[in-house]
Chain A
Amino acid sequence: MVDTQRTLLLGNLAAVEGAIYAGMRFFAGYPITPSTEVAEGCSRELPKIGGRFIQMEDEIASIAAVVGASVSGMKAMTATSGPGFSLMQENIGYAYITETPCVVINVQRGGPSTGLPTKVSQSDTMQARWGPHGDYTAIVVAPSTVGDTVTETIRAFNLSERFRTPVVILMDEIIGHQRELISLPKPGEHQVINRVKATVPPEEFEPFQLTANGVSPMAAYGEGYRTISTGLTHDPMGFTTNEPEEIKVKLDKLRNKIMDFRSEITKLRVEMMDDAEIAFVSYGSVSRAVLLAVALARSAGVKVGLVQLYTVWPFPDNKLRDYCQKCQKIIVPELNMGQIVHEIRRVMPPDTEIHSLQRYDGEILTPMQILEKLEEVM
């Protein structure tokens, strides 16, 4: 492991550092560009700290093994990109319904299908929210720098343990393959959250019990509780059910345990928004170019600011509305054909002018292109 000092680190390896800091000791994955260095890093680092790394036969198996490790009591993670993320959806859905904490990193590349293995994209923003079939609520975070990747990975694990749910980290090729000089966090610098464990006697324990905060304590395998997890819709005991009332209770639980605590989960970065008349709303690596563009525009006297979404899902409806309430115009730059822009349209008052700035040819949006768009809408 790298010492807690300034270090030049690859984005994908920053995810490994963050995960280990958060207590991840189990990684299962399958190689795919541009995420492979996450798996390679785990294969190197985990044995040194008594953790476990396994290269599975495909991504379906990788997320399955991660869930198996998590129900056994370990903090577990996998990492992939487009095609592998598609393969994982079935068992990410299983993790949602069985309320199994785990972290899935998607270092995005262009698609659809095999698409652009070595080129950047943000086209999985909606898939990260709606990938598995059925009704559930997703937590998705998005770092924009190598340093962010460490802290957002720690946060992803904390949210996952706190809410007993899978958390997706949306990285992209730029962040994953970029090297930046960063300081690794010292022990104790960040809070590390662990799942609430079962304490009542086994005969009283209900693994999916309804609690005040919606999150049920969890019992690890081998610790006397002998719980049942099933992908079939189930009652608080984990027994399969076809009763309309019980079905509704379960699905409401999956939503409410997250949506009732949305303000605790959402995280935004707000730059120069106090007097801004025009706002950029962005997430992921694009935010870096936006930040530079905003600084340049400000030096030319333009009242413009940035709201960056560290939490992409659940969408921060209220916070975004508050920060942008004085803006008549919002520009949403994305490396896709326009995905999160629809959420901003949904949230903002109908008289707000909302402009989508899209790039989907595998290249980054440059600060100049962002400034050009700004000039066009001004």
Chain B
Amino acid sequence: MATVEKTKSVEKQKSDVVLNYFRPRKKLPSVWCAGCGNGIVMSAVIRAIDKLGYSKDEVAMVSGIGCTSRMPIYLDFSALHTTHGRALAFATGIKFAKPHMKVIVITGDGDCLAIGGNHFIHACRRNIDITAILINNYIYGMTGGQGSPTTPSGAISTTTPYGNVEKHFDPCKLAQAAGASFVARGTVYHTPQLEKAITNALDHNGFSLVEVISNCHTYYGRLNHRGDAVSMLNAFKENSVSTAKAKKLSPEEMEGKFIIGTLHEDDRTEFCDEYQKLVDAHMGEK
């Protein structure tokens, strides 16, 4: 009984933390479907920010267009809800203009990897200190379920009605190859790990990516017979393998599974720091 009480009060505290960060005067509910993974990611982001003790004023949250990209408008931070795919380019302007700000980009698989792919690889290459949270639901949710650059081969979407003939991106490999200095993957099932991954990403100086495998049961789930939100979350549990465990598995055993945890970390120099050195060296010259 005591443990039940204790769990309840911990749960309450946790949700109170989230409530502290909703934008005052903004009308709820959100545009998201009941059970959408976006809400889980939002609370993980909030908890990570809260844990790190950032003030609300030092956070800028930037997004593009999509279901996922609506997140900043609900939260009590400076929010720039931009054009489709361009969030990282806008965010680069904010971070470079005000390097002390913590700049977080919330983006979808279509937003980040299709229309925004060029901005993504260049933000990685510059290693500018921005944290990108990429919510990968394998589909274009907002526009009603079209194929995206992460839609698996063979999967059904409204623009791949006979099965997807294209190959998909692995955003984590792409980010690492392009120069991002922190790369992690999580899922909306593994919430404590997700919170930790986001905390580590925010704490890292340099470009950080957290790919979050998430459910769009409304489109991806329905079109591909993956069941409701809960069944999709359970599938994420079944199909994910921790970095430690993945090392022990053969390629055959890894078939159909994906790795979660920190996938890459290095200490390359950060863009704004390097530019500041250049300013210090040339300041006041004629």
CB of B169 within 8 A of chain A?
Answer: no
- The answer to whether B89 touches A72 (Cβ under 8 A) is no
Majority secondary structure, A binding face? mixed
Do A221 and B94 touch (CB < 8 A)? yes
Residues on A with beta carbons closer than 8 Å to the beta carbon of B26: 239
In B60-105, the 8 Å CB interface with A consists of 60, 62, 65, 72-73, 76-83, 86, 89-98, 100-101
Assess whether B81 is in contact with A232, with CB atoms less than 8 Å apart: yes
Q: Is the CB of A72 within 8 A of B93?
A: yes
When C-beta atoms are compared, the residue in chain B nearest to A231 turns out to be: B83
Taking a contact as CB atoms closer than 8 A, the residue among A49, A52, A58, A223 that contacts B118 in the complex is: A58
Report if A90-B97 is in contact (Cβ < 8 Å); known contacts: A57-B119, A61-B92, A222-B78.
no
Q: Are A237 and B25 touching (Cβ within 8 A)?
A: yes
Stretch at the interface among B236-244, B247-255, B277-285: B277-285
| A91 part of interface (Cβ distance < 8 Å) | yes
Task: For A2, give the chain B residue with the smallest CB separation.
Answer: B286
Contact for B73 among A48, A65, A228, CB less than 8 A:
A228
* Known contacts A72-B93, A226-B57, A64 near B86 by CB under 8 Å: yes
**CB closest residue in chain A, given B271:** A54
Residues of B11-57 contacting chain A, CB below 8 A: 23-27, 56-57
Q: A54-B96, A72-B101, A221-B60 are in contact. Are A90 and B119 (CB under 8 A)?
A: no
**Given A91-B83, A221-B78, A47 and B282 touching (CB < 8 A)?**
yes
Instruction: Say how far B265's CB is from chain A's closest CB, in angstroms.
Output: 25
* Nearest CB of chain A from residue B66's CB, rounded to whole Å: 13
Chain B hits for A91, CB < 8 A:
82-83, 86
Interface residue total, chain A, C-beta cutoff 8 A: 46
- Is B122 in the interface zone, CB < 8 Å from A? yes
A229 to B275, CA, bound (A): 28
In the complex, which residues of chain B have a beta carbon less than 8 angstroms from the beta carbon of A225?
Answer: 78
A26 located at the interface, meaning its Cβ lies under 8 Å from any Cβ of chain B in the complex: yes
Residues of B within 8 A of A226 (CB): 23, 56-57, 76-79
Which of chain A's residues 40-96 have a Cβ closer than 8 Å to chain B?
Answer: 47-50, 52, 54, 56-58, 60-62, 64-74, 76, 90-91, 94
A252–chain B nearest beta-carbon distance, Å: 22
Across-interface contacts of A232 in B (CB, < 8 A): 81
Is B170 an interface residue when CB atoms closer than 8 A count as contact? Answer: no
B122's partner among A1, A57, A230, A237 (CB-CB below 8 A) is: A57
Nearest Cβ in chain A — how far from B98, in angstroms?
A: 5
Tally of B interface residues using CB under 8 Å: 46
Is B92's CB under 8 angstroms from A68's CB? yes
Q: Any chain A CB within 8 A of the CB of B267? A: no
Q: A94-B83, A232-B81 are in contact. Are A222 and B58 (CB under 8 A)?
A: yes
CB of A182, distance to nearest CB on chain B (Å): 19
Q: In the complex, what's the smallest C-beta–C-beta distance from B47 to chain A, in angstroms?
A: 19
Whether, in the assembled complex, A339 has its beta carbon less than 8 Å from a beta carbon of chain B, the answer is no
Contact B94 A68 (CB under 8 A): yes
In the bound complex, residues from chain A placing their C-beta under 8 Å from that of B96 are: 26, 52, 54, 65, 68-69
Residues of chain B contacted by A221 (CB below 8 angstroms) = 60, 78, 94, 98, 101
CA distance A227 to B62 in the complex (A): 12
Most A Cβ at <10 Å: residue of B26, B78, B98:
B78
CB of A56 within 8 A of CB of B80, answer no
Does B90 lie within 8 Å of A67, measured CB to CB? yes
Complex-state Cα separation, A64 to B84, whole angstroms:
11
Roughly how many angstroms separate A48 CA and B83 CA in the complex, as a whole number? 33
Option from A72, A73, A228, A231 in Cβ contact (under 8 Å) with B79: A228
CB distance B94 to A69 under 8 Å?
yes
Determine if A264 is an interface residue (Cβ-Cβ < 8 Å). Answer: no
**Which residue of chain A has the shortest Cβ distance to B84 in the bound complex?**
A90
Q: In the complex the two chains form, is A68's CB within 8 Å of B80's CB?
A: yes
Quick one: which of B60, B72, B86, B101 has the most chain A CB within 10 A?
A: B86
- The answer to whether residues A64 and B98 also contact, given A222-B58, A231-B83 and a CB cut-off of 8 A, is no
- Given known contacts A226-B57, A232-B81, what 10 new A-B pairs fall within 8 Å (CB)? A48-B283, A50-B283, A52-B96, A61-B92, A61-B122, A68-B97, A69-B96, A226-B76, A228-B23, A229-B81
Q: What are 5 of the A-B contact pairs (CB < 8 Å)?
A: A26-B97, A69-B96, A72-B60, A90-B83, A203-B24
- Chain B positions within 8 Å of A, measured between CB atoms, are 23-27, 56-58, 60, 62, 65, 72-73, 76-83, 86, 89-98, 100-101, 118-119, 122, 275, 278-279, 281-286
Residues of A with Cβ closer than 8 Å to B?
Answer: 1, 26, 28, 47-50, 52, 54, 56-58, 60-62, 64-74, 76, 90-91, 94, 203, 221-232, 237, 239-240
The 8 A-B pairs at the shortest CB distance, nearest first, are namely: A68-B93, A65-B93, A64-B89, A61-B89, A230-B81, A72-B97, A69-B97, A57-B122
